[in-house]
Every structure is written in structure tokens, then in C-alpha cells.
Chain A
Amino acid sequence: MPANYLWLIPLLPFAGFLINGTLGRRLPRALVSAVALIATAVPAGLVAWLWATLYSTDTPLTLNSGPWIAVPGFHVDFSLSVDHLTLIMLGVVTGVGFLIHLYSIGYMANEDGYWRFFAYLNLFMFFMSVLVLAANFLLLFVGWEGVGLASYLLIGFYFKKTSAANAGRKAFVVNRIGDFGFLLAMFLLIAHFGSLDFSAVFATVGAHPEWHAVRFLTAICLFLVLGAAGKSAQIPLYVWLPDAMEGPTPVSALIHAATMVTAGIYMVARCHTLFDRSPAALAVVAIIGALTAIFAASIGIVQHDIKRVLAYSTVSQLGYMFLACGVGAYTAGIFHLLTHAFFKALLFLAAGSVIHALSGEQDMRNMGGLRTRIPVTFWTMSAGVFAIAGIPPFAGFFSKDEILFRAFTSPGPLGKILWLVGLITAGMTSFYMFRLWFKTFFGAPRFEDHSLDSHGAAVHAHADTKLTVVAEHDSGQAAHPHGVHESPWIMLFPLVVLAILSVVGGWVGIPGHSAIERFLDPVFASAPIGGELPAAATSSGLELTLAVVSVLVALLGLYIAWLFYCRKPGTADALAQRFRSAYSLVSNKYWIDEIYHAFLVTPLLMFTRGIVELIFERGVVNGSARASGMTVRGFAWATRNQMSGNIRSYAGWLAAGAAVILAAMIFGRALWVHL
């Protein structure tokens, strides 16, 4: 593919955004959908062409479209670059993105603001493509900020709902904290390298083998980690992602599971040359990842909202990817990113289908027994559940196992601890995913089919989905228009495709024959990895043992979930009663939101309301406005009485003025001559 076509990949969705964003309100829905679909399908085709062009070559495709910022000693260009890492990201973004656009047509069919939704979705695709295609930090930052904006707009899509508007704002503000770190990292890069170009920066680092664990590289890396932690929802900035579930479910699938939140992992992998030189920063990445993984998984265990379970599971899986990057196993991290994009998008879309079937119900306590009622959703979601739980031969097994193996073989005692944390997390993941599975699809139904009719209207107004889609595709059953129903084919098709990918997607990374490792080798092998661990990669016996252990742990999770939620459905509640304080701690999410609120948000609000508003707002801003007002009033008061409105007084002033001028002309001149 000629490099000149690269800009089409981001610009077509942008054109879609402009068309739908400006004219969409007046266009028919079919046309809005067509524009949005074409704007994502063509880039997906272009990416396929890119794959065909670049699959067998190691040289990246680059395109420099001219200068953006050019000052003496520093310049940034509009430059794009595609290497194998970008190819994988582009494939995920455009492929999964296209499927989710397709799904959204069915899911959003009866929503208000249909055109707005697709305009935002296309805007997101634009910025995400820019993010992965960028060949320098600044262009990446444009995409980085842009996806944050699109995420904000889509979380707050139901902006009439206060919780959705607040969630959008929270996501934006928390991301700004991360962006602050990214900005500082860029300033340091400019100060130390004089360039923001990836190839220039990495080449400079490569030319200085003596820069190992130097302070400025560690500082840059730690600031980058702060940025990545914001975008990828890691401790301490993970709090926005669970709240982001206020957005429509396809948005959760695309932005808050498959693509945007992986931008942080992509960025760390992209900057691996820097991170490889800073063992301290890598250790921070690994520890943050492991802590986030187990922490989020523990919260996920007790959530009742089906989307919140998936949200915490996303945070937890992103922690795995961080962990992988932290032990230098970037390939494993990107591999998990890939499989996670498949199965987590699938899980969210299937959850959306369940919610759709139950007319907006998201609480798993009100589900159950849906296996036979919505079979396609059930089977596809099962593929996703097995994949994330790490049961072979589903996709998640291979990628998660690779991460655990690489953690185990990384040097030092830290590696073993990370492995153990990862293993426990894997068991917890398996448990809460099968908990979701059993509670949703097995047992007796805990919902009333027709009760939904009575309070359906309330559900419509507030919940994420509208069930009235039913009316369109089985309007023949006018008797129960709101009964449990399978979704239309346009929603099921993406589910089926993603389910197949969740089954076979991991096979590109079978240990020993890992296609993905060979594929990503040119990207990651170029840098010498700090430690001497590649030697361990050959010990296939150890890998097999570890794989067996993690499968056993996953099966244990499955067994406990079955015991608790299928065989004896009261067990979990009884346990929660017995360990009430622990349960309340976890189910309140360790009070993290409350702690942040008390120690960060409230003081900040007090500062702004007290100091800034009192002194600056009232004193400076209001004061200066008032002073100028008073000046005018003063002058007005002095001259107001002249304007009596009495014509004769005006005439009198006129005559007096004329007399004065006349007197000045006659006597003034004489006076002047005398003086």
C-alpha cells in the first residue's frame, strides 16, 4: 500500500464525524448508519491492505506530511509510521471498531441522539487511529487527548442523567492527571533529546549504551507511567473506568475495554527502548500492574451490576498487561491486549445483548435462567467467559499464561511474587466470571417477564438501553412486546465473529510456535533487554508446569463458582453475612472513591470556592467590573442634570454658548493682542 494512503485511515472516520455531526440531525437513520459504517469499513479494508503489504517485511512504513512546529533547534512533523506493533493495534481498532459500529446500529436503533452517537463514535475512531499511527510523541498526544474527549462525550451520552454527566466529568478529570504526567515526560524529552520523534529519541538512546538507570530516563519513564496509568485505568487512577459504564454498552465495549484503555499499554510498549534502560521504572510498572490486577479482581467478585463486573475485570486484565510490560515481556503484553480486545469486547456486547433482552435490567440478582431464552447470546458469551477465565484452548489461556510464565522467569524474587499475585488473580478472575455466567444464564429466572411492562417506562428513561427495539422485529407478538427476546441479527453477527476470535485468537501465540512473537520481534528485539532473561524462554518444561498450575487454578475458580451460585445458591450470601466487615469493605470498593473525595476533591473544592472565588472572582474580577461601572455612573451623575428634556433650556444653552464664542472672538482677540 502506498504510504500516501495512510492518512485515509484516520481521516475517513473524521469525515464521517463531520457529516453526521453537522447534518446528522436532519438525515434519516439509515443514512447516518451508512455514513458511519462506510467511514469505519473502508479504513478496516485499508488496514487489511496494510497487513498484506507489511506482513513479511520488517521495515516500517513511514510518511512525513510536512512540518507542524518548526522553530530553530526543534521541530515536530505530521508524520505517521506503521510497524508490526502498529499493525496489531490498527487491526484491533478498525476491526473491533467496525464490528461494534455494526452492533450499535441494532442496539441504538430506538435511542434519541442516534446521529450524535455515531458522530462521536467516528470521532473516537479518528483519534484512536491517529494515536496508533503517530510517529512522534506530540501526534500521539493529540490522539491521546482526542480519545479522552470522545470517551468523555460518550460516557456522558445520556447527559440528562446526573450520574452519567458526573461519570464523564470524572473520567475527564482523572485522565487529565495522567495527561499532566505525559506532558511533563514530553518536556523532559525535549530538554534531553531535543526531539519528540520516536525514531530520533530511540536512536539516541541506542547510541548511548552507558545510559543505564540514569536519573533522567527514569524520570521520563515514571511520568509516562503516570500518563499510561490514567489512560489504562491503573492504580491510583483507575477510579474513572467503573463509573464509565454509565455510557451505552457498545461504548463500554469499544472504548472502555477493547481499544482506548489499551493506549497506555501501547504507549509503554512503544517506548520500550526507554523503559528497558530504567529497571526502577519497569519495576514500578510491574508492581502497579500486579496490584491493580488483584485489587480490581477482588472488587469484581462482589459487584452485582453485570457491566460493573466486566469493568473491574477490564481494570484487572489491564493490570496483567502492565505486569507483562513491567517484566519486559512486551510481546506477551501486546498479545494479551489482542486477545483481551476480542473477548472483552465480546463480553460487553453479549452483556449488552442480555441487558437488551431484559429491557434495561443490569442487576445480576434479577437475572438467571437465560440460557434457553437467548441461546445465541449464551453460547457466544460462554466463549468469552471461558477465554477470560483462562481455560484452554480459548484465547485468554495462551496470553495470560505467557504473562505468568514471563513473570515467573524474570530475575529476582520480585518475579516470583508477581507470578503468585497473577496466579491468585487468575483464580479470582475465573471465579467472578463464572459467577456472572451462572447467575445470568443458569438457575431459576429471578425476573418477571411482564412486570417489565409496568415499570418499563422508568427503565427506559434511566437505563442504558431501550427495549422498544422489540417492537420492530417481532411486532407480531403484540401481546408481550416487552418479553425476554433474542437480539436482532445485526447485534448477533458481531457476537459470533468475536466469539470465533475468542476461541482461535490465542492460537497465534502457542508457546514454541508463537507467530505473534516472530511477528513482533522486529519491534521489540531491537533493544537489548536489561536483564539476561531470554535464556529462560527455552525451558518449555517449566512453561508446561506453570500452565497446568494456572489451568488448575482456573478450574478451581469455576468449581467454587458452581458450588456457590449453582449447586447451593445461598452459600455466597451466608459467607457474606459471616464476614460482614470484609464484605462491606470490598463491596464498597475499599472506600477508595470516598477517600479520594475526602482527601482530594473536597480540599480542592474548598480551595477554589474559598480562596479563588472569594479573592480572585469577587475581588479582582467583580471589583474591576464594578469600578468601571461606578466611574461611568459618576460622570453620568455630574452631567445628567443638563439633559432636562426642556427644549427652551437647550435653546438657552445654545444661545449662551453662541454668546460666549462671540465674546471670545471679539474680546479674546483684543486680549490676545494686548498680552
Chain B
Amino acid sequence: MVPTSYYLILAAILFSIGIAAFLIKRNVITIFISIELMLNAVNLTFVAFAHMWHQVSGQIFVFFVMVVAAAEAAVGLAIIISIFRARKTLNVDELDLLNH
């Protein structure tokens, strides 16, 4: 049986990769993917803990996160498409209209 800590370490690695990608990458789609990565890292910790404590609520929570992530993906991609149509770019450093 794989110890719970393995799952948690894997989740922490995935989350850190997500954060690093989020901070470093300029492409909006990549940033978006990194957010999904972070969400799924969290999902992994939920499932790990649910298995550890034999509690089903952690697994239920994962479903909620997946639903929200799906909705977020739908809305987010729609926003990205309309931004691209308007600005002809996906570079976040150029999407700083509010700063001017």
C-alpha cells in the first residue's frame, strides 16, 4: 500500500509546477492550463485524505471542484477567445489596459 505522504508529495510537486508556470509563462492558454494543474493537485490531496480517513466527503468535494473547473474552463476559454479577437494577442503582458 502506497503511503499517503507519497500522494501529498506528488500533489505538492504538481501544485508548485502549476504556480511556477502561472508566474513564468506569458501565454494565457498556458496560464490557464497551469490553473487546471493546481486545481487537480488539490483534488489529489482531497482524494488522498479521503482515503486516509475513510471519509467520503473529500471525494464528494472533488466532484464539486471538477464541476467548477469545467464551468471555469468554459467561461475562461470564451473570454480568451474574445480577448484574442479584440487584441490579436495572447500575451498577458500586453493585456494591461486597466493600467493605462
Q: Which residues of A contact B (CB under 8 A)?
A: 643-648, 651-652, 655
Contacts and interface: CB of A to CB of B under 8 A. Distances in A.
B29 interface: no
B23 A655 contact: yes
A651 B23 CA distance: 7
B22 A651 contact: yes
Contacts, number: 24
Dominant SS at the A interface?
helix
Interface string B37-77: 00000000000000000000000000000000000000000
A645 B93 CA distance: 9
Contacts of A646: 92-93, 96, 99
B98 interface: yes
A493 B19 CA distance: 97
Contacts of B22: 648, 651, 655
Contacts of A648: 22-23, 26, 92-93
11 contacts: A643-B99, A644-B99, A645-B96, A645-B99, A646-B92, A647-B95, A648-B22, A648-B23, A648-B26, A648-B92, A655-B23
Given A645-B99, A646-B96, 18 more contacts: A643-B99, A644-B99, A645-B98, A645-B100, A646-B92, A646-B93, A646-B99, A647-B92, A647-B95, A647-B96, A648-B22, A648-B23, A648-B26, A648-B93, A651-B22, A651-B23, A652-B23, A655-B23
Contacts of B96: 645-647
A162 to B, nearest CB: 49
A277 to B, nearest CB: 81
A377 B75 CA distance: 89
A645 B19 CA distance: 19
Nearest to A647: B92
B57 to A, nearest CB: 22
A652 B96 CA distance: 16
Contacts of A647: 92, 95-96
A643, A646, A647 pick with most chain B CB within 10 angstroms: A647
A226 B93 CA distance: 78
Nearest to B19: A655
Contacts of A651: 22-23
Nearest to B93: A646
B47 to A, nearest CB: 21
Contacts of A645: 96, 98-100
Question: What is the interface residue range for chain B against chain A?
Answer: 10 to 19
A8 to B, nearest CB: 66
A401 to B, nearest CB: 89
Nearest to B99: A645
A644 B23 CA distance: 15
Contacts of B93: 646, 648
A651 to B, nearest CB: 6
A639 to B, nearest CB: 15
Contacts of B19: 655
A645 B96 CA distance: 6
A644 B19 CA distance: 20
Contacts of A643: 99
A643 B100 CA distance: 11
6 smallest A-B Cβ distances: which pairs? A645-B99, A645-B96, A647-B92, A652-B23, A655-B19, A651-B22
Contacts of A644: 99
Nearest to B34: A651
A645 B97 CA distance: 8
A651 B93 CA distance: 13
Interface in B1-59: 19, 22-23, 26
Interface string B75-98: 000000000000000001101101
A164 B39 CA distance: 79
A131 B19 CA distance: 83
Contacts of B23: 648, 651-652, 655
Contacts of B92: 646-648
A481 B99 CA distance: 70
A549 B98 CA distance: 95
Nearest to B22: A651
Nearest to A643: B99
A644 B92 CA distance: 13
A211 to B, nearest CB: 82
B18 to A, nearest CB: 10
A646 B98 CA distance: 10
A204 to B, nearest CB: 77
A360 to B, nearest CB: 62
B84 to A, nearest CB: 16
Contacts of B100: 645
A644 B99 CA distance: 7
B41 to A, nearest CB: 14
B23, B26, B95 pick with most chain A CB within 10 angstroms: B23
A645 B22 CA distance: 16
Contacts of A652: 23
Nearest to B97: A645
A655 B100 CA distance: 25
A314 B93 CA distance: 84
A88 to B, nearest CB: 78
Nearest to A658: B19
Nearest to B35: A651
Contacts of A655: 19, 22-23
A648 B99 CA distance: 13
Contacts of B26: 648
Nearest to B98: A645
Contacts of B98: 645
A644 B26 CA distance: 16
A655 B22 CA distance: 10
Nearest to A655: B19
A660 B73 CA distance: 29
A652 B99 CA distance: 17
A644 B100 CA distance: 10
Nearest to A652: B23
A646 B26 CA distance: 11
A537 to B, nearest CB: 94
A648 B93 CA distance: 8
Contacts of B95: 647
A651 B22 CA distance: 8
A646 B19 CA distance: 16
A643, A651, A652 pick with most chain B CB within 10 angstroms: A651
Nearest to A645: B99
A648 B23 CA distance: 6
A646 B92 CA distance: 8
